[in-house]
């Protein structure tokens, strides 16, 4: 089979490393991929948002199956465009990807179908939003409606901060058209759990749960980042919580999308908060999470490509999705200064025994060397019988990866380990 993967980060590298295990796979193209991914796939410099370029490439190269991983091309209709040329894809069409593409849509969906989430109001006029904030409970959460590179959520601790956030989105247009409409919602508290799921629109099969570490600094301090590390499974996602999520959130969401004529096929990501009132949805993503994928897929016992094809064909109910009875930890090696400003171009050395566990996010070639080109450079994942061992092993490996100005959080998994010990 000739496979095409759209995207170019650590998540895509993890997908490619899993797909490669299927003996039917003849060649994998990554568009655009990166120079680390180039060691595992053929990279082609076509941007993930160049829908025409992607479709033309797929047709010219007789692609049998495409996997569209990032949110932008999904929301832009990359799957629709490939399907129109007869190319089967993993990923939702644009109509379904709106579950991530518009927060106003997803909040209204949850309200309409009684899916637990934070209470909220939506606004398209700045004055009305500011008026509402005069009496709204504080802290409060302001969200830009559209995609905003994961930065469109502001948690305001004071009324002034909340008003500034609204102005930055609606007056200064910090997120462009994404901030034309906004959601103001109740601030929730509790541990966060990420649950990625496979769904073919008929059934939903949750993957193993995971925990992201979004802040740049140890002890969850500093700025929000794209994710500094992950562990799986997430100890807060107990069997009782999982049962409630299935009944109150996962199945109702799939059914709601179907009822709206927006059947979702692909990976639906549930960002959950386990509150005192039970699990609630913080956000939906229409795709695999990054860096959640880097701990979830290494724990998958079944064949990923087979599952993906079953999702496309609507036969997921008859397909094995089995997980290892083990734990995984991924530590991200970033460049010092990320997410604000950082230097690029330093040579990266990855020991040969660490390479199979390495997922490259931001690197390019300089001669035959690999040099860092992004804030998040790579992630290293360990799979071990226990979480404690997985954390220790992930650090042992990532500490042997060398590049100048390398920065890793030192406490990935610490909160999860504490929860297990309790």
Least separation in angstroms between residue 154's CB and ligand AMP is: 9
- Give the binding range for ligand AMP (CB under 6 A) out of 44-52, 185-193, 308-316, 318-326: 185-193
Distance CA 191, CA 270 (A): 14
DSSP string, 293-345: HHHHGGGB-S-HHHHHHHHHHT-GGGS---B-SSEEEEEEEEETTTTT-----
Maximum distance among all Cα pairs of the chain, rounded to whole angstroms = 61
Distance CA 323, CA 345 (A): 38
Distance CA 23, CA 26 (A): 8
Strands 120-123 and 363-366: unpaired
The residue from 185, 200, 292, 303 that contacts ligand AMP (CB under 6 A) is 185
Least separation in angstroms between residue 176's CB and ligand GLY is: 19
The residue from 84, 127, 173, 187 that contacts ligand AMP (CB under 6 A) is 187
Q: From the list ligand AMP, ligand GLY, none, which binds 188 (C-beta under 5 to 8 Å, kind-based)?
A: ligand AMP
**Does residue 118 bind ligand AMP (CB under 6 A)?**
yes
Least separation in angstroms between residue 415's CB and ligand AMP is: 13
Q: How many CB atoms lie within 10 A of CB 218?
A: 15
Do the Cβ atoms of 307 and 315 come closer than 8 Å? no
Least separation in angstroms between residue 113's CB and ligand AMP is: 19
Q: From the list ligand AMP, ligand GLY, none, which binds 289 (C-beta under 5 to 8 Å, kind-based)?
A: ligand GLY
DSSP state of 179: G
Grouping H, G, I as helix, E, B as strand and the rest as coil, residue 272 is strand
DSSP state of 246: I
Least separation in angstroms between residue 118's CB and ligand AMP is: 4
Distance CA 201, CA 250 (A): 11
Distance CA 314, CA 295 (A): 26
Please identify, using beta-carbon distances, which residue of 162 and 299 lies nearer to ligand GLY: 299
Least separation in angstroms between residue 213's CB and ligand AMP is: 10
Please identify, using beta-carbon distances, which residue of 44 and 153 lies nearer to ligand AMP: 153
Distance CA 418, CA 395 (A): 18
Please identify, using beta-carbon distances, which residue of 225 and 309 lies nearer to ligand GLY: 225
DSSP H helices, 154-207, are 159-170
- From 384, 410, 380, select the one nearest 397 (Cα to Cα): 380
Site residues (CB under 6 A) for ligand GLY, limited to 198-227: 212, 227
Number of amino acids touching ligand AMP (CB under 6 A): 14
- Give the binding range for ligand GLY (CB under 6 A) out of 24-32, 168-176, 240-248, 289-297: 289-297
Site residues (CB under 6 A) for ligand AMP, limited to 193-252: 214
The residue from 249, 292, 294, 378 that contacts ligand GLY (CB under 6 A) is 292
Radius of gyration of the chain (CA): 21
What residues contact 86, with CB distance under 8 A and at least 6 apart? Answer: none
Length of the chain: 422
The residue from 43, 234, 263, 285 that contacts ligand GLY (CB under 6 A) is 285
Q: From the list ligand GLY, ligand AMP, none, which binds 290 (C-beta under 5 to 8 Å, kind-based)?
A: ligand GLY
What residues contact 325, with CB distance under 8 A and at least 6 apart? Answer: none
DSSP state of 237: S
The residue from 30, 75, 96, 188 that contacts ligand AMP (CB under 6 A) is 188
Least separation in angstroms between residue 409's CB and ligand GLY is: 14
Mark residues 35-74: x for contact with ligand GLY by CB under 6 A, - for none: ----------------------------------------
**Does residue 100 bind ligand AMP (CB under 6 A)?**
no
Q: From the list ligand AMP, ligand GLY, none, which binds 292 (C-beta under 5 to 8 Å, kind-based)?
A: ligand GLY
Phi, psi at residue 295, to the nearest 5°? -105, -25
Do the Cβ atoms of 162 and 133 come closer than 8 Å? yes
- Give the binding range for ligand AMP (CB under 6 A) out of 25-33, 85-93, 184-192, 202-210: 184-192
- From 52, 64, 77, select the one nearest 25 (Cα to Cα): 64
Site residues (CB under 6 A) for ligand AMP, limited to 140-159: 141, 150, 153, 155
Grouping H, G, I as helix, E, B as strand and the rest as coil, residue 322 is coil
Interface residues with ligand AMP (CB under 6 A) are 118, 141, 150, 153, 155, 185-188, 192, 214, 271, 282-283
Binding site for ligand GLY (CB under 6 A): 150, 212, 227, 285, 289-290, 292
């Amino acid at each position: 089979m000739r496979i095409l993967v759209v995207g170019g980060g650590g998540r895509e590298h993890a997908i490619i490393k899993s797909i490669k295990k299927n003996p039917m796979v003849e060649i994998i193209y990554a568009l655009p991929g990166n120079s680390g991914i180039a060691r595992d796939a053929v990279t082609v410099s076509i941007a993930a948002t160049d829908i025409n370029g992607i479709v033309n490439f797929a047709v010219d190269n007789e692609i049998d199956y495409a996997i569209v991983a990032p949110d932008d091309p999904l929301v832009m209709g990359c799957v629709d465009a490939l399907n129109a040329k007869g190319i089967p894809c993993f990923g939702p069409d644009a109509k379904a990807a709106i579950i991530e593409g518009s927060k106003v849509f997803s909040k209204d969906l949850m309200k309409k179908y009684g899916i637990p989430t934070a209470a909220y109001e939506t606004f398209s006029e700045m004055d009305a939003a500011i008026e509402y904030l005069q009496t709204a409970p504080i802290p409060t959460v302001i969200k830009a409606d559209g995609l905003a590179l994961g930065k469109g959520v502001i948690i305001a601790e004071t009324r002034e901060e909340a008003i500034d956030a609204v102005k930055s989105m609606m007056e200064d247009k910090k997120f462009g058209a994404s901030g034309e409409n906004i959601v103001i919602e109740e601030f929730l508290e509790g541990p966060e759990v990420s649950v990625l799921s496979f769904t073919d629109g008929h059934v939903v099969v949750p993957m193993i749960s995971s925990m992201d570490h979004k802040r740049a600094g140890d002890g969850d301090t500093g700025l929000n980042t794209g994710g500094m590390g992950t562990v799986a499974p997430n100890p807060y996602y107990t069997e009782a919580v999982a049962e409630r999520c299935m009944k109150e959130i996962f199945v109702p969401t799939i059914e709601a999308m179907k009822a709206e004529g927006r059947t979702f096929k692909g990976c639906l990501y549930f960002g959950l908060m386990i509150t005192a009132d039970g699990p609630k949805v913080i956000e939906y993503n229409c795709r695999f999470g990054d860096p959640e994928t880097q701990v979830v897929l290494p724990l998958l016992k079944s064949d990923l490509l087979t599952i993906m094809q079953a999702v496309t064909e609507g036969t997921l109910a008859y397909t094995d999705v089995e997980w290892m009875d083990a734990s995984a930890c991924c530590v991200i090696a970033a460049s010092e200064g990320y997410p604000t400003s950082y230097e690029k171009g330093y040579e990266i050395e990855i020991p040969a025994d660490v390479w199979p566990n390495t997922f490259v996010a931001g690197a390019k070639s300089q001669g035959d060397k690999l040099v860092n080109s992004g804030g998040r450079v790579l992630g290293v994942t360990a799979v071990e019988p226990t979480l404690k061992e997985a954390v220790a092993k992930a650090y042992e490996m990532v500490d042997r990866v060398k590049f100048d100005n390398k920065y890793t959080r030192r406490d990935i998994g610490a909160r999860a380990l504490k929860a297990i010990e309790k």
